[in-house]
């Protein structure tokens, strides 16, 4: 028996789909007044509507499903029971059963990885439609996948859903991003791929640091460190992000220990086909080390480390370069205002190529930090540069 839909979960589903009551009513063949009555608690969802809502739920793409989970979590419904019982319908949803072959998975992998690289270079405004479509495709194919191929497709699904999480994060929807990372981790567990499992926990560590949830970041880092990984590049990246989390959580000895664990063997990036931590490179080591030094109070050392990383960032990684420049600007402001403003200007120029909302948000934060120097020539020139005629 399926858990009963309530007015609260109907509202959460409609909101997740970003639909008006009228459009949602048409989607499930009901009246707008009926939907309104459910959501206001004036009437209950009948049996026919229960089935229609169940069927709609199992066809959701991963972004809408994660958005629903976030919204439903904020209500009083028994979300876990609801998701477990409704998810059981996924195996029977739809009638077409495509043939999933090794070649098909290889084609999917090429496109998923292309979406990841596109997001790195142009930002989520450009890449999100492709990234979300690939995650949806992987999830749709899983029920039809032969058992022998399921680990491969589950691993790819984990990567694809995690890419949707990165895109949501770039769009500043951090709750949705965290929910998607949680989904991705489940698929990585199903695949038995410990490198991707650790990588997704590292993503959650990074997100928690970004949102200043430092205790959560340290917990995710501890969990990631408990996983045995085979990929040495992933081991280095995990150590770096764990050091960052521990530094912010005031676990300085643990932070130093993890920094020492970084091998330094990975100077240049590789490709997503070669490693899930394909972006791990010398510039990442310098950049994250700078963040650790900043968190532990060594502002001058942090500025030097972050500035050193800039020369090694590849040209296509425009978002990474812009965010690194903005970190340098914030660190350097009390030490060298001209240096700080020059870095902010470079980041602004890059933001006109990579239209990442995350970069725009960090620029606004950086400009607020520069407010005490608003009357200086350097900051006035920065403001003029930010609003060209």
Task: For residue range 115-162, list pLDDT tens digits in order.
Answer: 888 887 778 888 888 888 888 888 888 888 999 999 999 999 999 999
Rounded to whole angstroms, the Cα distance separating 316 from 204 reads: 24
The alpha carbon of residue 2 and the mean position of all alpha carbons in its chain are separated, in whole angstroms, by 31
- Does pLDDT of 59 surpass 70? yes
Instruction: Report yes or no: 53 and 5 within 8 Å, Cβ to Cβ.
Output: yes
Instruction: Report yes or no: 165 and 204 within 8 Å, Cβ to Cβ.
Output: no
Mean pLDDT of 24-52: 86
Work out the percent of the chain whose per-residue pLDDT is above 90. Answer: 43
232-265 tens-digit pLDDT:
999 999 999 999 999 999 999 999 999 999 998 9
Reported pTM: 0.71
């Amino acid at each position: 028996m399926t858990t009963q839909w309530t007015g609260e979960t109907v509202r959460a589903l409609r909101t997740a789909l970003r639909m008006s009551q009228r459009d949602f009513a048409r989607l499930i063949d009901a009246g707008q007044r009926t939907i309104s009555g459910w959501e206001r608690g004036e009437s209950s969802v009948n049996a026919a509507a229960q089935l229609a809502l169940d069927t709609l739920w199992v066809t959701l793409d991963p972004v809408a499903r994660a958005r629903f989970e976030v919204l439903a979590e904020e209500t009083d419904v028994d979300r876990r029971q609801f998701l477990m019982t409704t998810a059981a319908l996924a195996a029977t949803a739809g009638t077409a059963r495509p043939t999933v072959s090794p070649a098909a998975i290889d084609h999917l992998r090429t496109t998923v990885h292309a979406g990841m690289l596109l997001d790195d270079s142009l930002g989520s405004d450009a890449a999100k439609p492709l990234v979300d479509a690939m995650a949806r495709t992987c999830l749709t194919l899983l029920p039809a996948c032969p058992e022998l191929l399921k680990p491969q497709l589950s691993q790819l699904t984990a990567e694809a859903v995690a890419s949707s999480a990165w895109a949501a994060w770039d769009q500043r929807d951090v709750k949705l991003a965290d929910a998607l990372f949680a989904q991705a981790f489940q698929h990585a567990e199903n695949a038995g791929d410990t490198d991707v499992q650790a990588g997704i926990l590292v993503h959650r560590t990074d997100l928690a640091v970004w949102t200043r949830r430092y205790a959560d970041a340290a917990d995710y880092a501890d969990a990631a460190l408990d996983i045995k990984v085979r990929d040495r590049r992933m081991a280095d990246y995990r150590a770096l992000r764990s050091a960052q989390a521990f530094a912010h959580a005031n676990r300085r000895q643990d932070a130093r220990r993890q920094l020492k664990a970084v091998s330094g063997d990975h100077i240049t990036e590789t490709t997503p086909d070669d490693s899930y931590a394909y972006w791990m490179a010398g510039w990442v080591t310098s950049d994250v080390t700078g963040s650790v030094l900043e968190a532990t109070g060594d502002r001058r050392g942090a500025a030097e480390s972050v500035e050193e990383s800039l020369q090694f960032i590849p040209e296509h990684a425009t978002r990474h370069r812009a965010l690194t420049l903005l970190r340098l600007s914030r660190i350097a402001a009390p030490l060298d205002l001209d240096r700080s403003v020059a870095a902010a200007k470079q980041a602004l120029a890059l933001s006109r190529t990579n239209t990442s909302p995350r970069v725009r948000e960090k620029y606004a934060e950086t400009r607020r930090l520069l407010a005490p120097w608003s009357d200086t020539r350097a900051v006035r020139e920065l403001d003029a540069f930010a609003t060209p005629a």
